[in-house]
Amino acid sequence: MEDNNVVATATESSAPAAPAKKSYKRVSKKKVCQFCIEKANAIDYKEVGKLKKYVTEKGKMLPRRMTGVCAKHQRMLAEAVKRARIVALLPFKGE
């Protein structure tokens, strides 16, 4: 047991170039689903201003981990965004 520890320490110290610690804590603000706050049962595809917060400038949908939208509302949002694209309120991905 002790012998192993000695060997491990020796190997680590022989490589001083390797960063010893990588500690940067990302202060993650707890995101809450905006639609849950509003108790939305449906998301209107005509509310482009709202939808635009959940898509990139290219019209791509933002991942849930970035927007904090819950799974239920993310599905509704995806539907709304697709409809908005069809009626040309939002651009299609890649255009």
Binding residues for Zn ion (CB under 5 A): 33, 35-36, 70, 73
**For Zn ion, which is the closer residue by CB, 58 or 75?**
75
Alpha-carbon distance of 66 to 54, in angstroms, equals 9
Q: What's the min distance (Å) between Cβ of 39 and Zn ion?
A: 9
Q: What's the min distance (Å) between Cβ of 24 and Zn ion?
A: 30
Alpha-carbon distance of 54 to 41, in angstroms, equals 17
Q: What's the min distance (Å) between Cβ of 47 and Zn ion?
A: 15
CB 58 within 8 A of CB 93: yes
Alpha-carbon distance of 79 to 54, in angstroms, equals 12
**For Zn ion, which is the closer residue by CB, 78 or 91?**
78
**For Zn ion, which is the closer residue by CB, 26 or 65?**
65
**Closest chain position to Zn ion (CB):** 33
CB 60 within 8 A of CB 47: no
